[in-house]
Structure 1
């Protein structure tokens, strides 16, 4: 009886995880960087990605782990990838099933060695986003749909960003359940090179938690409500994209 129950529980957990996802690897300047493996033991893992424990969503914009889907610390064997300002970075997922909702990409200046910084203390600026791409909220094409179809997302590091150590944060916000947003953020460490001099400031910078509220129009939303479903515009949460 116990063996049967354990088997059923394991099957349930596997099916639940399969419905979600997280960033599994990165491609930077043509080089592949393995991401964190949340269902493997932490010991022995080396990655540019910060540790995270599961593919399950964060359900509250004020959740203490919404910055990077973790407690905020680097792994014991944390790596950092070097990338030139103006270069592309591609995040890849092994699985993703939710078409409705935006893709958002943030960065944060660590002010020094990122491995010694708790990601909950950082100030984040948005470098990329894709919300509703075409059609209506109820039957349109979304940024998340691109992830479903391709399992990857490519962004460009702002060309004039000043050199330094940064975190990059990829976030998928799933809106497929009425008034029940699901946040899926993961972070990785970068060393940005180049001769840029630009830095975001003021309203371009947000904290996590703090950057979102559950009352934001792009977060708690019912895309199946007739009036809402017919709309052709969507406001993604957080600041506007900073281009440098």
Structure 2
């Protein structure tokens, strides 16, 4: 039988390798997020529930949209935010410096609490990929997260008012050809705005990524000759800024 010390050590090693969003600041107001290693009983938060800090390894996984089965939590809340204001997601921990950061939103057909995230159409509002240098030794968006544990993005000022999910996705590329996805979602009620919505060229369904994105997802950043590669296309559609 494994000793308690061994079990605890294994858990700590696994947890330290990964991370998840556990709180938000929405238009200046702090919100406690989901606490995956606490009992779900009594948790009431704007964040969709998820079970662990472990990565998703397959873009076709049924949990890919929000790191759960697509449903809201029993104590689900939504945060109100003005179009044009900022959302900051705060990670509990993060240790991977190589890979991009993406923030998506999806409009719910009615109440987001009743919506399954797997049925929605998502558009990207923020991305940070390869910022400088080459793909092997350069500066990445994930490096910024590792230093600050924060990602701040702006709700497009032109966005139509309504209920939305916001989805923060980290894509860790430190293991050759074995991408690790870390998505989490929260519910927002957007007010004001310019009444605009993104066109079809900005929309994507999760789970999944288009085949053309595979070269950005299944990649060995340490391959022979990769020191000369200084460009990287962040997966998914282009960022929609309200135009």
In the alignment, structure 1 residue 16 sits paired with structure 2 residue 14: yes
Alignment partners' CA distance in 2, 1:18 and 1:10: 12
Aligned to 2:34: 36
What CA deviation, in whole Å up to 9, does each residue of 1:21-76 have, x standing for no partner? 01111001211100100011100001100000000000011111110000011111
Q: Residues 136, 31 of structure 1: CA spacing in aligned structure 2 closer, same or farther, 3 A cutoff?
A: same
2:24–2:32 Cα contact (<8 Å) kept = yes
Aligned to 2:228: 230
In the alignment, structure 1 residue 90 sits paired with structure 2 residue 84: no
Aligned to 1:181: 179
Match of 1:45 among 43, 46, 70: 43
Aligned to 2:191: 193
2:82–2:193 Cα contact (<8 Å) kept = no
Q: Which runs of 5+ in 1 are unaligned?
A: none
Aligned to 1:79: 77
Structure 1 residue 214, shift from structure 2 partner:
9.0
Structure 1 residue 9, shift from structure 2 partner:
2.0
Give the TM-score taking structure 1 as reference length.
0.96
Q: Residues 200, 166 of structure 1: CA spacing in aligned structure 2 closer, same or farther, 3 A cutoff?
A: same
Give the TM-score taking structure 2 as reference length.
0.96
In the alignment, structure 1 residue 211 sits paired with structure 2 residue 224: no
- SS of residue matched to 1:217: helix
Alignment partners' CA distance in 2, 1:215 and 1:204: 14
Alignment partners' CA distance in 1, 2:213 and 2:157: 34
1:61–1:212 Cα contact (<8 Å) kept = no
Q: Residues 138, 195 of structure 1: CA spacing in aligned structure 2 closer, same or farther, 3 A cutoff?
A: closer
Which deviates further from its counterpart, 219-228 or 92-101? Answer: 219-228
1:164–1:191 Cα contact (<8 Å) kept = yes
Aligned to 2:105: 107
Q: Which runs of 5+ in 2 are unaligned?
A: none
Match of 1:62 among 60, 64, 67: 60
